[in-house]
């Protein structure tokens, strides 16, 4: 069995559920644009960048807008999203996450973040989790969006580990694909029927520890 030297975490849907705030902010923008945008549609935005998200919403509404309007629409959505983020508290960290990260730290397993969000540091700060991560690669540091593996490869490089020695934790289909494309082993967080491509899928971190990870790796 290859060693586990590092764990790389996605943020939204893995550490914390910011998808609900993204949804409320995108829905408000969609309403302004006269587009019906449902929670079901929101699934397509998980793990993809802000630019890609707006492109998907415009595609759903069968609409095109000028470049300047595109930029201002993204800025408005982000302003509303940040209003929600600034209300977040450490209680919103998903169950079992902190315990699992503490266990990794106690075993000297490196911890990194690979999130498509340009607001990742603000969110980690808000929920009191910033200090756990040895490296943070976010949407400000990549050109390509998931499923391109760039973000995970950069995270592995930042902590000086080979992809094969890292485990990625991801909740989005695009993110699972990105990890596989980069040569990582990947644990899907969510439902097996959605994340079937992952090497293993678990519901979340409640009751999940290093022993579980080692046993599924065998």
Q: Which residues bind Mg ion (CB under 5 A)?
A: 10, 12-13, 47, 171-172
CA distance 115 to 175: 9
Q: How far is the CB of 143 from ligand B16 (least distance, A)?
A: 14
Judged by CB under 6 A, the chain residues 23 through 82 that form the site for ligand B16 are 45-50, 53, 78
Q: At what angle do helices 97-106 and 210-217 cross, to 10 degrees?
A: 80
199 is catalytic: no
- Confirm or reject binding of residue 10 to ligand B16 (CB under 6 A): yes
CA distance 32 to 200: 40
CA distance 149 to 22: 23
Residues 10, 41, 138, 171: which is the catalytic one? 10
- Confirm or reject binding of residue 119 to ligand B16 (CB under 6 A): yes
Greatest pairwise CA separation for the chain in angstroms: 53
Instruction: Look at residues 145, 140, 180 and name the one whose alpha carbon lies nearest to residue 56.
Output: 145
Residues 12, 41, 138, 171: which is the catalytic one? 12
Give me the 166-185 binding string for ligand B16, x by CB under 6 A, dash otherwise. Answer: ------x-------------
CA distance 184 to 64: 37
Pairing verdict, β 166-170 and 135-137: unpaired
Q: 183 is in the binding site of which of ligand B16, Mg ion, none (Cβ under 5 to 8 A by kind)?
A: none
Nearer to ligand B16, 48 or 195 (CB): 48
The contacts of residue 18 (CB under 8 Å, 6+ apart) are 11, 12, 85, 117, 123
102 is catalytic: no
Q: 45 is in the binding site of which of ligand B16, Mg ion, none (Cβ under 5 to 8 A by kind)?
A: ligand B16
Nearer to ligand B16, 56 or 217 (CB): 56
The residues annotated as belonging to the active site are 10, 12
Can you give the binding site for ligand B16, defined by CB under 6 A? 10-13, 22, 45-50, 53, 78, 115-119, 139, 172
């Amino acid at each position: 069995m290859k060693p586990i030297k590092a764990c790389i975490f996605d943020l939204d849907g893995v550490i914390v559920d910011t998808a609900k705030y993204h949804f409320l902010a995108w829905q408000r923008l969609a309403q302004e644009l006269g587009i019906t945008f449902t929670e079901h549609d929101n699934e397509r935005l998980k793990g993809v960048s802000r630019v890609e998200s707006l492109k998907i919403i415009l595609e759903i509404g069968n609409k095109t807008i000028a470049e300047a309007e595109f930029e201002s629409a993204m800025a408005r959505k982000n302003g509303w999203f940040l209003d929600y983020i600034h209300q977040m508290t450490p209680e919103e960290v998903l169950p079992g996450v902190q315990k699992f990260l503490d266990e990794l730290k106690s075993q000297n397993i490196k911890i990194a973040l690979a999130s498509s969000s340009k607001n990742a540091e603000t969110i980690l700060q808000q929920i009191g989790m910033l200090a756990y991560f040895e490296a943070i690669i976010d949407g400000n540091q990549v050109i390509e969006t998931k499923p391109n593996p760039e973000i995970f490869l950069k995270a592995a490089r930042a902590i000086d580990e080979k992809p094969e020695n890292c485990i990625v934790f991801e909740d989005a289909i695009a993110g699972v694909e990105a990890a596989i494309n980069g040569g990582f082993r990947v644990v899907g967080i969510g439902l097996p029927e959605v994340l079937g491509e992952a090497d293993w899928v678990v519901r979340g971190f409640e009751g999940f520890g290093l022993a579980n990870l080692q046993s599924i790796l065998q």
